[in-house]
């Protein structure tokens, strides 16, 4: 039997699919499980034996990508496809790929392309109701015949990831600290999710100055300047920007990567983060995490992680789900460094 799993493009959503993927792998132990995803999403799953084979959606014209992946699926004779990705493109690709049984959610006009269409949770007015993506993914696995997957998210790191993190730890001398706290200020969703840099710097300064923590400000390739700005504002020798410990700034340092971020979060004593992908790394590695919510509903990305604290200010204009705030960003500005510091202390004790 050949099973294909179409993975979402958002890193956090990909992590939230791991309980359902584990259920598919366990229930269909003799089947070949093929992951269909964008290349960078594969880095999220690196280190584990999630898939027997991988098919990539590469860049280029939309139609060419669909046809290329569909052609590869036809060659693999897919018996069952589970669409964790909610796009029309994923359903069309599965249909064109000759996948016999196609399970997914009835969204974006794709119901006719599915053999089994699940309905998303809606309120009494027929509008989509904020509800955990984890639950939605688990229902897909159950529809495929699996027992209830549960909520335990899992990730793994590669030896290369760990060697890269070793280099970072050595440069910052983090082995000399009793605790290391990672801060993740980025958010690919949009600026509305950002907590002010000055607030992050204040938090970093207090963690380093009052607790003696080693502090590492994480970043992706497009967030280098943000991480550097926070470390500079913190103005404390125990606060480091990952951008300054990696290539090309540090010629002997490792390159920035999803794998490096995973390894850093895995060995940290705490992660303080915006509502973005790395918060799910913390849950998957069973690390304490404080998540700063602003424009988004907590319910969408509930992780059921027992060592997680969610902080959010209830304001009259939110949660708005907007990528850019059209007003004064009050939902994030009202969340003070003092409140976040107290939450961090509770998890570090």
CATH class of 159-348: alpha beta
Closest-CA residue to 35 (of 279, 27, 44): 44
Confidence (pLDDT) at 289: 99
All residue ranges of the chain with pLDDT < 70 are none
Q: What is the pLDDT of residues 251-291, one digit of tens each?
A: 888 999 999 999 999 999 999 999 999 999 999 999 999 99
Task: Tell me whether domains 2-143 and 159-348 share a fold.
Answer: yes
Closest-CA residue to 313 (of 328, 15, 324): 328
Are the C-beta atoms of 203 and 340 separated by less than 8 Å? Answer: yes
CA separation for the pair 3, 17 (Å, rounded): 15
Are the C-beta atoms of 286 and 307 separated by less than 8 Å? Answer: yes
CA separation for the pair 141, 23 (Å, rounded): 7
Q: What is the pLDDT of residues 120-157, one digit of tens each?
A: 999 888 888 899 999 999 999 999 999 999 999 999 99
Confidence (pLDDT) at 27: 98
Q: Domain segments of the chain: what residues?
A: 2-143, 159-348
CA separation for the pair 235, 61 (Å, rounded): 46
Confidence (pLDDT) at 64: 80
pTM of the model: 0.95
Closest-CA residue to 238 (of 219, 216, 254, 256): 216
Closest-CA residue to 343 (of 301, 310, 316): 310
State the alpha helices, DSSP H only, in the chain.
Answer: 11-16, 18-27, 39-45, 62-76, 88-96, 133-143, 159-172, 197-211, 224-234, 258-267, 277-284, 330-333, 337-348
Confidence (pLDDT) at 330: 86
Domain 2-143: CATH superfamily is Glycogen Phosphorylase B; (3.40.50.2000)
């Amino acid at each position: 039997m050949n099973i294909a799993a179409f993975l979402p493009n958002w890193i956090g959503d990909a992590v939230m699919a791991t309980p359902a993927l584990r259920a598919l792998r366990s229930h269909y132990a003799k089947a070949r499980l093929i992951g269909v995803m964008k290349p960078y999403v594969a880095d999220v799953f690196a280190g584990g034996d999630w898939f027997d084979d991988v098919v990539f959606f590469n860049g280029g014209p939309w139609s060419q990508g669909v046809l290329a992946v569909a052609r590869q699926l036809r060659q693999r004779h897919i018996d069952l496809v589970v669409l964790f990705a909610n796009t029309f493109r994923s359903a069309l690709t599965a249909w064109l790929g000759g996948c016999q049984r196609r399970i997914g959610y009835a969204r974006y006009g794709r119901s006719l392309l599915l053999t089994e269409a699940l309905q998303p949770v809606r309120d009494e007015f027929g509008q989509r109701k904020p509800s955990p993506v984890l639950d939605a993914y688990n229902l897909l696995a159950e529809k495929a015949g699996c027992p209830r997957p549960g909520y335990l998210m899992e990730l793994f790191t590669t030896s290369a990831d760990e060697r890269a993190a070793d280099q970072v730890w050595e440069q910052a001398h983090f082995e000399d600290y009793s605790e290391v706290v990672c801060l993740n200020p980025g958010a690919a969703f949009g600026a509305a999710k950002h907590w002010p840099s000055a607030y992050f710097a204040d938090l970093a300064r207090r963690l380093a100055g009052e607790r003696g923590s080693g502090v590492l400000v994480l970043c992706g390739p497009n967030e280098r300047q943000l991480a550097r700005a926070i470390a500079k504002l913190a103005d404390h020798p125990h606060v480091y920007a990952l951008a300054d410990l990696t290539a090309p700034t540090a010629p002997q340092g490792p390159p920035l990567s999803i794998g490096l971020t995973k390894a850093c979060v895995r060995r940290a004593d705490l992660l303080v983060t915006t509502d973005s992908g790395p918060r799910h790394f913390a849950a998957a590695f069973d690390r304490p995490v404080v998540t700063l919510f602003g424009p988004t509903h907590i319910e969408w990305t509930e992780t059921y992680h027992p060592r997680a604290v969610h902080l959010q200010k209830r304001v009259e204009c939110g949660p708005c789900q907007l990528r850019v705030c059209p007003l004064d960003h009050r939902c994030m500005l009202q969340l003070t460094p003092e409140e976040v510091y107290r939450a961090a202390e509770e998890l570090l004790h």
